[in-house]
Amino acid sequence: MHRFWLVALALALVGGRAAAVEVDGRIDPGEWEGATHVTDFRKVQPLTGEPGSLPTQAWMLATPDGLAVAFRNTQPPGVPRTRQKVRRDFEEQVDRVNVFVDFDGDGRTGYAFTVSSTGGIADEIITNENQFSSDWDGQWRHAVSEDEDGWSVELLVPWHTAPMRDGAGGERTLRLFLARVIGSTGERTAWPAASFERSRFLSDFAPLTVPQYDQSLLAVTPYVSGLYDNIGGDGEGNAGADLFWKPNGRFQLSATVNPDFGQVESDDLVVNFSATETFVSDKRPFFTENQGIFEYTTPSDFSQLLYTRRIGGPADDGGGASDIAAAVKLNGSFGQAKYGLFSADEAGAAGRSFYALRVVRDFETQNLGMMLTHVERPFLDREASVLGLDHSWRPTPRWNVRSRVFGSRVEQDGGRSSDLGATLWADYEMDRGWRQQWIAMHFGNELEINDAGYLSRASTNYLHWQVSRRFTDLPEGSRYASTDWRWRVSSNHNNRGQKLNDQFRMSRQGQLRNGSDEYAQVNINGAGINDLLLRGNGIVRLPANFNAYYEYSRPRKGRWAHDVEAELFGGGLAGNDRLGGSLWYGATYFVSDAFSLNAGAILIQRPDWLIWQGPDSGDLVGAFDGKEAKLLAGLDWSIDPRQELRVKLQAIGIDARARHAWRFDPAGNAIATDDAIEDFSVRNLAFQIRYRYELAPLSYLYVVYGRGGFDRSTIADGVDEALLDSFDLRDDEQLMVKLSYRFEL
């Protein structure tokens, strides 16, 4: 009996000591007693594996409140420190530390937590080994302090951050990656010496066995919002709530009722005349919270089985954006398997219902998963289902092999169609910086995943082989810290046997010793056909062409930061006989560490711009001499740790002068025609002023003013006039106030 009380007292003392980490940025040795201590930080950017140029120490300690991590970053006065204030999910190159955690240790989903030396934070989700998404915002604690010799960080990540599988014997094995970035040079040191520049990143994290703590959480976030439409002269109010419930480590539920997704984050303006849909990431909180398990992607750009921007998107009756009535999401585990359930319903007669089921199972060197999506669209008398299997295999530390097989079935108006898709992606890490990559993709003609997902095109048979070499042992006198060369050959045919194109690509990425980044790429494209331009009315045969691209980004030095992009390209029916180009320049001026102004402009010339003339024209295409100008400007002001003000302006002007009218024979050859093709101009504007006040973690007051518009006319007075005239657009003008507050029960 006495022994029992002694053990209980010892456990209480240990638990009390573990729970007593005060997140204040000052590393008290007594608080971190018993923590795992790491000092072996190695350079991973450039990827040399050498010890870092500045000493870094870290401590990791599991407490009942969460995983606590501390950094001590030596930075003497001779090494410049970045003092810039940054907003949440910043991308600026500043002094910072990273904590990446794979809570299940299976290499499938990681959570990234970043703290800058000025207290700014960013958080991301990592899937597919090295794919990052900053759309997710978590609730975690952090603090920073500094002195003459360096700066320190403490942070605490609660156990309710993510669903976790059960451990064994009262313990759980996590996998972690800790990193530090020196802002003035861009040097990144890390433990372990893993890198997201390699094909394997998540699965190379270091294991850490900790006590198995469970943490429950019930949080309700009600909101109220009001919107005044200055064009219509009326207003409307709205109210709803989000719910988050995690009773234990194995189960997590998120739900939303009558969500208000008013635009507190404005999307970038894009004017798209192509047949390929523009992909837009989702920043709506419900759809980003623990969404990682639903990641099912392929090597095709942005493709995924569940593309949440579909939900609440354009309604099937063409009546504008749909209203979401309710949505629910379950994440959990049973044994070694993890699952996710998703459901969302839109309101109204044209509303759709979305469902998704995800199950994954981790093994020692591989992962196996299944995903099913189903969409009901009663207004179109359409139901669409997609079933996919995915497999990731890591047979040795050098190999990473990912495969996907998925099929679709669509029933509409009494008919049915179905087809399959499959992808294989293999990466091989060799010695002395050499790597190889093979990708194969097949998408059937009738494959259709875009009711719930995103696929830029079906009817594809694609192969590529790429060889790369990374150079990190450059002379001290070189302006580059590292360079990475890639050479790729690829071939792409549609599923009817027609060649889309063959391509040779050469690219080089360079990291400069002053912290700047550089990228250059050349593509040489063989002749082929375009089977999308005419929207099912035939094919277009295109000649060979090339494009060359260059970009340079210099982080803040003094009061300025700059970036430049330039491109030279052929294309259209002219191939390389008529070259177009684009030039972008952007700059940020820092009035202070907390206040900055930014502006940039891009000019694009497309001398043989092919634009389909619409559903009533059949195969009629206009070839235009097109000019586009885009202006971006804004300001960012971190008023204090709780308040920020952002201003964002985007304006586009397009001037297109008709040169030729073309139709096409069955083989895709162009035939000149006398059909009338009109000049046109486009004006597009988006302007937003957004004030945000953080009342408490994940609780905000927003005041947002927005104005914008779009106009297309047959009057082409020049690209400069189109850009200037865009400032007169006023199709929409709204003032929105939104208040949300998170209650933890």
SS (H, E, C) 545-580: EEEEEEEEEEEEECCEEEEEEEEEEEEHHHEEEEEE
Say if residue 16's pLDDT is above 80.
no
d(Cα 636, Cα 645) in Å, to the nearest integer?
6
- Sequence length of the chain is 745
3 state SS of 308: helix
User: Is 324 within a domain?
Assistant: no
Q: Which two tokens stand for residue 448?
A: 């259709």
pLDDT of residue 19: 52
Question: What are the respective helix, strand and coil percentages of the chain, to the nearest 5?
Answer: 5, 55, 35
Last residue in a domain, options 192, 211, 230: 211
Q: What are phi and psi of 702, to 5 degrees?
A: -115, 140
CB-based contact 174:161 (threshold 8 Å): no
Looking at residue 446, its pLDDT comes to 97
Q: Tell which wins on pLDDT, 166 or 202.
A: 202
User: What's the pLDDT at 392?
Assistant: 93
Q: Look at residue 178 and tell me if it is in a domain.
A: yes
Backbone angles phi, psi at 81, to 5 degrees: -110, 140
Indicate the residue type of 450. Answer: N
Q: Which residues contact 453 (CB under 8 A, 6 or more apart)?
A: 303, 304, 305, 306, 307, 310, 373, 386
Residue 143 lies in a domain: yes
Q: Give 605-661 pLDDT, tens digit per residue.
A: 999 999 999 999 999 999 999 999 999 999 999 999 899 999 999 999 999 999 999
Contact between residue 139 and residue 158 where contact means Cβ atoms under 8 Å apart = yes
Hey, what are 413's tokens?
Answer: 């108006």
- Residue 616: Cβ-neighbour burial (10 angstroms; 0-12, 13-18, 19+): exposed
Least confident window among 3-12, 175-184, 491-500, 721-730: 3-12
Strand, coil or helix: 264: coil
Alpha helices in 303-350 (DSSP H): none
Q: What's residue 335's pLDDT?
A: 79
Bridge-based pairing of strands 545-557 and 517-525 is: antiparallel
Distance in angstroms (rounded) separating the CA atoms of residues 662 and 599: 39
Q: Is the pLDDT at 260 greater than 80, yes or no?
A: no
The residue among 662, 664, 661 whose CA lies nearest residue 677 is: 661
- Residue 45 CA to residue 467 CA, distance in Å, equals 20
Please give the helix or strand (H or E) that residue 406 lies within, else none. strand 399-412
pLDDT tops 50 at residue 1:
no
CA dihedral sign of residues 391, 212, 132, 472: negative
Looking at residue 571, what is its pLDDT?
94
**Residue labelled with tokens 């009600």:** 222
Model confidence band, residue 25 (pLDDT cutoffs 50, 70, 90): very high
Handedness of CA 39, 40, 44, 47 (dihedral sign): positive
In angstroms, the first-to-last Cα distance of the chain is 37
For residues 701 and 693, what is the distance between their CA atoms, to the nearest angstrom? 5
Q: Last residue of a domain, which of 211, 233, 264?
A: 211
Q: Which domain CATH number covers 97?
A: 2.60.40.1190
- CA atoms of 110 and 393, how far apart (whole Å): 18
Report the pLDDT value the prediction gives residue 10, as an integer from 0 to 100: 38
- 245 forms beta bridges with 218, 253
Alpha helix stretches (DSSP H) within 398-555 = none
| SS3 at position 326 | strand
| pLDDT, position 114 | 97
Structural domain tally of the chain? 2
pLDDT at 287 over 60: yes
- Residue 14: the pLDDT is 39
Token pair of 62, please? Answer: 């599991």
How many angstroms separate the CA atoms of 156 and 117, rounded? 16
Q: Does 289 fall in a domain? A: no
Alpha carbon 606 to its chain's center: 29
Q: How far apart are CA 713 and CA 279, in angstroms?
A: 26
How much is the pLDDT for 162?
Answer: 85
176 in a structural domain: yes
Q: How far is CA 694 from CA 133, 457, 472, 644, 701, in A?
A: 23, 42, 43, 9, 7
Confirm whether 442 is domain-assigned.
no
Comparing CA positions, the residue from 362, 291, 309, 364 lying closest to residue 333 is 362
Model confidence at 696: pLDDT above 70: yes
Average model confidence (pLDDT) for the chain?
Answer: 92
Q: Which residue has the tokens 């020049």?
A: 718
The burial class, CB within 10 Å (0-12 / 13-18 / 19+), for 539 is buried
pLDDT at 12 over 70: no
Quote the pLDDT of residue 5: 37
Tokens describing residue 198 = 């390699």
d(CA 200, CA 168): 27
For residue 46, cis peptide bond before it (omega within 30 degrees of 0): yes
Which stretch, 249-263, 321-335, 697-711, has highest mean pLDDT?
A: 697-711
Domain that includes residue 203, residue range:
2-211
Higher pLDDT, 175 or 91: 175
Is the link from the previous residue into 192 a cis peptide, with omega within 30 of 0? yes
Whether residue 513 lies inside any domain: the answer is no
pLDDT number for residue 6: 37
Q: Which amino acid is at 149?
A: D
Task: Give the pLDDT of residue 35.
Answer: 96
> What pLDDT is recorded for position 262?
56
Phi, psi (rounded to 5 degrees) for 29: -55, -35
Give me 586's structure tokens. Answer: 């952007």
Distance CA 238, CA 228 (A): 12
Residue tagged 């969500």 (tokens): 259
- CA–CA separation, 336 vs 362, rounded Å? 7
- Would 327 be classed as within a structural domain? no
Digit-coded pLDDT (tens) for 362-421:
888 888 999 999 999 999 999 999 999 999 999 998 999 999 999 999 999 999 999 999
pLDDT value, residue 39: 97
- pLDDT above 90 coverage of the chain, percent: 80
Q: With 80 as the cut, is the pLDDT of residue 9 above it?
A: no
C-alpha triplet 129, 470, 50: angle, nearest 5°? 85
Give yes or no for a contact between 714 and 622, defined as CB atoms under 8 angstroms apart.
no
**451-463, pLDDT tens digit by residue?**
999 999 999 999 9
Q: Which of 193, 211, 229 is the last residue of a domain?
A: 211
Q: What is this structure's pTM?
A: 0.89
- The answer to whether 345 and 312 have CB atoms below 8 angstroms apart is no
Instruction: Return the SS3 of 219.
Output: strand
In this predicted structure, the answer to whether residue 587 has a pLDDT above a threshold of 60 is yes
Strands, DSSP E only, in 572-716? 575-590, 595-612, 621-640, 643-664, 670-672, 680-696, 699-713
Q: Is the pLDDT of residue 41 over 90?
A: yes
Measured CA to CA, the distance from residue 225 to residue 228 in angstroms comes to 10
pLDDT of the residue at 261 = 59
Burial 540-568 (b: 16+ CB within 10 A, else e): bbbbebbbbbebbbbbbeeeebbbbbebe
Phi–psi pair at 41, nearest 5 degrees: -90, 130
pLDDT value at position 717? Answer: 86
With bands split at pLDDT 50, 70 and 90, how would you rate the model's confidence at 88?
confident
The predicted pLDDT at position 422 comes to 98
**Residue 263 has what pLDDT?**
58
Residue 259, both tokens: 């969500």
For residue 333, what pLDDT band results from cuts at 50, 70 and 90?
A: confident
